[in-house]
């Protein structure tokens, strides 16, 4: 295969034929993908960044209900990829799942544009400016459009980034090195789309009309899909080696539970594993045995009591999923912190002075979200070109720092974000008291730019968190479950949004019950957001402590593909970074 110039990882074209390494994949193929990601992020953030404003000013919902609605929708957008990844990994593959889902996504955007454009789908207003609340049918159509988008996102989000990563051959040293930078630049294109939304679209929505503000990303999304399909001859497609990888994981758990009373052998070589020739024939990578989660090893016991045992590789893949799940749980609080960008940070900004140098131009509150994106865009090249080489020289780790260390730094930065947000809110409350402001519609004489530090810090922190999570979950996923593995990243954001909606609702009810005044009321000039930010800071500290403890015990995956031209062991990014190849050596995380 290698002598003919074919890829070494067994990738094929759309018709299932082996592909030439020199003519397919790599950045030549990815160039057709990054455009879609930029326009899709522009569409998503063009809706999400200003959704709380639309709900309160156009559909006339109250603050808590609007925050909850935004969180529930955002959570759905980020959690539906679990289903999309399962469908891709088990049935249709990444390309076709993405193709069908992208059309559903576009349909949702078209319906949403209609919802904000047609008079019959918007609340009516009288000549004196008084507007009615949206009717049930109007609300139903609007949310139907939103959740159509969420369904489409379920199939596009987990598959487009992993499809891009598939364009690089893991068994080619040069291409594997390119893949390390791919995730950074993939997120760069994502952030560029977010920047276009928060800088341009939110201004257009509030000043030129919501219809124009939604029609622009819809048109861009359609154009980017056409570009994506033009690149079809350049794409590489991975062949599924397991019919239903998720069912294989469940089978391991079932076997371990069935054999729970049996004793494990002292030598792990006595556990059931396929002959090496089977791996050569199928091209599947064998995962080495580790001592972690040893209770699952009972699924690989082979004797008269266990007629159909799982292989060691299948057991280790189930261990990988369990290990990622545990790490995933520690990402929920940081994702909750990020959920403030499109909810409470925006509402906080609407209460402040948004004019520039006393002029008539007023900055849309949601536009400050662009500073999250700007700080990310500036930080990614600095991280990739300066931080990584500097740390690589000091640590001898190819990535500068390990993936879990990268996450730990990001989690720690979120503590600083909440501390700064709390301090700024205390300052805002002091100005309110000094000017005896009580009414909710009175502008607080304090510049909106006081909020900039929390946005900028959040952007810098997410260079470590967002990209680190995407790379970590892709790298640590079992071979046939990398789409599903990426959903650990997206579902964490989704659950973080749901969790924020739940926390806002509970805090609102509990504080009203105890003191009569909500921390998060409709009138932010008579609320206590500083208390809520302090609460988020406290749980962020506790979460970081738990993360460090778990990261110290985490074992990275180690796999081998027998019969490779190189004839040896293949390390993942994480193993290369940790410098260890032992069967069960834990990675010590030191922050």
The answer to whether position 293 is within a domain reads yes
- Residue 515: how many other CB atoms lie within 10 Å: 10
CB 14 within 8 A of CB 95: yes
Helices (H), 197-311: 202-207, 210-230, 245-258, 276-282
Average pLDDT over residues 466-484: 77
The answer to whether position 378 is within a domain reads yes
Of 301, 316, 331, the residue that ends a domain is 316
Residue 475 has pLDDT above 90, yes or no: no
Report pLDDT digits (tens) over 190-231: 878 888 887 788 889 888 888 999 999 899 889 889 889 888
Q: Which domain holds residue 444?
A: 317-557
Q: What is the model's pLDDT at position 2?
A: 45
Q: What is the model's pLDDT at position 520?
A: 80
Report pLDDT digits (tens) over 2-16: 446 888 878 888 888
Say yes or no: 383 and 454 in one domain: yes
> Could you give the CA distance from residue 468 to residue 365 in angstroms, rounded to a whole number?
29
Say yes or no: 173 and 35 in one domain: yes
Phi, psi of 170 (to 5 degrees): -65, -25
pLDDT band of residue 281 (cuts 50, 70, 90) is: low
> Could you give the CA distance from residue 93 to residue 80 in angstroms, rounded to a whole number?
17
The answer to whether position 76 is within a domain reads yes
Q: What is the model's pLDDT at position 38?
A: 86
Q: List the single range of 97-111, 129-143, 208-222 with lowest mean pLDDT.
A: 129-143
Say yes or no: 202 and 219 in one domain: yes
SS3 231: coil
Q: What is the model's pLDDT at position 552?
A: 87
**DSSP letter assigned to residue 269:** G
**DSSP letter assigned to residue 289:** P
What is the token pair recorded at 52?
């709380």
The most confident of the ranges 273-277, 368-372, 587-591 is: 368-372
Say yes or no: 440 and 303 in one domain: no
Alpha carbons within 13 angstroms on the beta-carbon side of residue 202 total: 29
Alpha carbons within 13 angstroms on the beta-carbon side of residue 144 total: 12
The answer to whether position 382 is within a domain reads yes
**3-state secondary structure string, 410-456?**
HHHHHHHHHHHHHHHHHHHHHHHHHCCCCCCCCCEEEEHHHHHHHHH
Say yes or no: 385 and 476 in one domain: yes
305 or 414, higher pLDDT: 414
pLDDT band of residue 518 (cuts 50, 70, 90) is: confident
Q: What is the model's pLDDT at position 79?
A: 85
Residue 580 has pLDDT above 50, yes or no: no
Residue 514 has pLDDT above 90, yes or no: no
Residue 572 has pLDDT above 50, yes or no: no
The answer to whether position 57 is within a domain reads yes
Of 266, 294, 316, the residue that ends a domain is 316
Residue 380 sits at the vertex; the CA angle it makes with 377 and 384, to the nearest 5 degrees, is 155
> Could you give the CA distance from residue 146 to residue 105 in angstroms, rounded to a whole number?
10
Place of tokens 């000549």: 127
Q: What is the model's pLDDT at position 576?
A: 41
Say yes or no: 21 and 82 in one domain: yes
Say yes or no: 287 and 329 in one domain: no
Say yes or no: 456 and 468 in one domain: yes
The answer to whether position 565 is within a domain reads no
The angle that helices 173-196 and 452-476 make with each other, rounded to 10 degrees, is: 150
Count of the separate structural domains present in the chain:
3
> Could you give the CA distance from residue 477 to residue 484 in angstroms, rounded to a whole number?
8
Check which CATH number belongs to the domain holding 395 and give it.
1.20.1250.20
238 or 152, higher pLDDT: 152
On the 0-12 / 13-18 / 19+ scale of CB atoms within 10 A, 275 is: exposed
Q: What is the model's pLDDT at position 215?
A: 92
Region label for 357, one of left (φ > 0), alpha (ψ between -120 and 50) or beta (otherwise): left
| β-strand partners of 20 | 6
pLDDT band of residue 115 (cuts 50, 70, 90) is: very high
Say yes or no: 454 and 329 in one domain: yes
What is the token pair recorded at 79?
């959690």
pLDDT band of residue 485 (cuts 50, 70, 90) is: low
Q: What is the model's pLDDT at position 102?
A: 93
pLDDT band of residue 579 (cuts 50, 70, 90) is: very low
Whole-number CA gyration radius for the chain: 25
According to DSSP, the β-strands at 444-447 and 352-353 are parallel
Report pLDDT digits (tens) over 430-445: 988 888 887 777 888 8
The answer to whether position 566 is within a domain reads no
**DSSP letter assigned to residue 201:** I
With CA atoms as reference, report the closest residue to 82 among 146, 151, 154: 154
Of 268, 285, 316, the residue that ends a domain is 316
Q: How confident is the prediction for the chain on average, in pLDDT? A: 82
Residue 186 has pLDDT above 60, yes or no: yes
Report pLDDT digits (tens) over 393-422: 888 777 788 888 889 999 999 999 999 999
Say yes or no: 443 and 342 in one domain: yes
What is the token pair recorded at 324?
């990622």
Say yes or no: 321 and 374 in one domain: yes
Say yes or no: 15 and 144 in one domain: yes
Residue 573 has pLDDT above 50, yes or no: no
Residue 584 has pLDDT above 50, yes or no: no
pLDDT band of residue 272 (cuts 50, 70, 90) is: confident
Report pLDDT digits (tens) over 146-178: 999 999 998 998 888 888 888 888 788 778 777
């Amino acid at each position: 295969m290698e002598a003919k110039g074919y890829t070494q990882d067994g990738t094929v074209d759309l018709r299932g034929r082996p592909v030439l390494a020199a003519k397919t994949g790599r950045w030549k193929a990815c160039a057709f993908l990054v455009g879609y990601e930029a326009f899709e992020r522009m569409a998503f953030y063009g809706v999400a960044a200003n959704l709380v404003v639309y709900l309160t000013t156009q559909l006339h919902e109250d603050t808590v209900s609007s925050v909850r609605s935004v969180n529930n929708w955002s959570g759905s957008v980020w959690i539906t990829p679990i289903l999309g990844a399962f469908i891709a990994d088990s049935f249709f593959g990444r390309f076709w799942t993405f193709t069908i889902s992208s059309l559903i996504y576009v349909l949702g955007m078209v319906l949403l544009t209609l919802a904000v454009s047609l008079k019959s789908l918007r609340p009516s207003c009288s000549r004196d400016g008084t507007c009615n609340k949206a009717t049930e049918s109007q609300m139903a159509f609007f949310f139907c459009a939103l959740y159509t988008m969420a369904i489409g996102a379920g199939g596009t989000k987990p598959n487009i980034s992993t499809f891009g990563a598939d364009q690089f051959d893991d068994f080619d040293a040069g291409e594997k090195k390119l893949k390390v930078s791919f995730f950074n630049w993939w997120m760069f294109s994502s952030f560029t789309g977010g920047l276009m939304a928060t800088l341009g679209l939110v201004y257009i929505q509030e000043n030129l009309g919501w219809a124009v503000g939604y029609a622009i990303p819809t048109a861009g999304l359609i154009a980017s899909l056409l570009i994506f399909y033009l690149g079809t001859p350049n794409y590489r497609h991975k062949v599924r080696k397991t019919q239903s990888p998720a069912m294989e994981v469940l089978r391991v758990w079932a076997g371990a539970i069935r054999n729970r009373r049996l004793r494990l052998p002292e030598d792990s070589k006595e556990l059931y594993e396929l002959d090496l020739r089977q791996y050569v024939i199928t091209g599947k990578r064998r995962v080495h045995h580790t001592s972690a989660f040893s209770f699952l090893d009972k699924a690989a016991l082979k004797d008269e009591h266990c007629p159909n045992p799982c292989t060691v590789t299948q057991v280790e893949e189930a261990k990988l999923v369990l290990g990622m799940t545990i790490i995933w749980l520690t990402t929920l609080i940081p994702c909750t912190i990020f959920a403030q960008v499109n909810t409470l940070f925006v509402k906080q900004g609407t209460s402040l002075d948004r004019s520039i140098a006393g002029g008539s131009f007023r900055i849309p509150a949601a536009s400050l979200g662009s500073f999250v994106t700007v700080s990310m865009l500036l930080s990614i090249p600095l991280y990739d070109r300066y931080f990584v080489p500097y740390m690589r020289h000091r640590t001898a780790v190819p990535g500068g720092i390990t993936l879990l260390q990268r996450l730990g730094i990001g989690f720690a930065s979120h503590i600083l974000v909440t501390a700064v947000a709390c301090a700024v809110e205390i300052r805002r409350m002091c100005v309110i008291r000094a000017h005896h402001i009580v009414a909710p519609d009175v502008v607080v004489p304090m510049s909106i730019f006081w909020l900039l530090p929390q946005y900028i810090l959040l952007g810098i922190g997410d260079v470590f968190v967002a990209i680190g999570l995407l790379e970590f979950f892709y790298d640590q996923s079992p071979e046939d479950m990398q789409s599903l593995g990426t959903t650990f990243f997206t579902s964490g954001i989704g659950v973080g949004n749901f969790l924020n909606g739940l926390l806002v609702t509970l805090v609102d009810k509990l504080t009203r019950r105890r003191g009569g005044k909500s921390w998060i009321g409709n009138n932010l000039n008579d609320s206590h957001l500083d208390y809520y930010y302090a609460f988020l800071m406290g749980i962020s500290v506790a979460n970081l402590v738990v993360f460090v403890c778990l990261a110290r015990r985490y074992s990275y995956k180690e796999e081998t593909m027998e019969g490779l031209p190189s004839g040896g062991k293949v390390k993942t990014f994480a193993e290369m970074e940790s410098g260890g190849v032992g069967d069960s050596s834990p990675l010590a995380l030191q922050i």
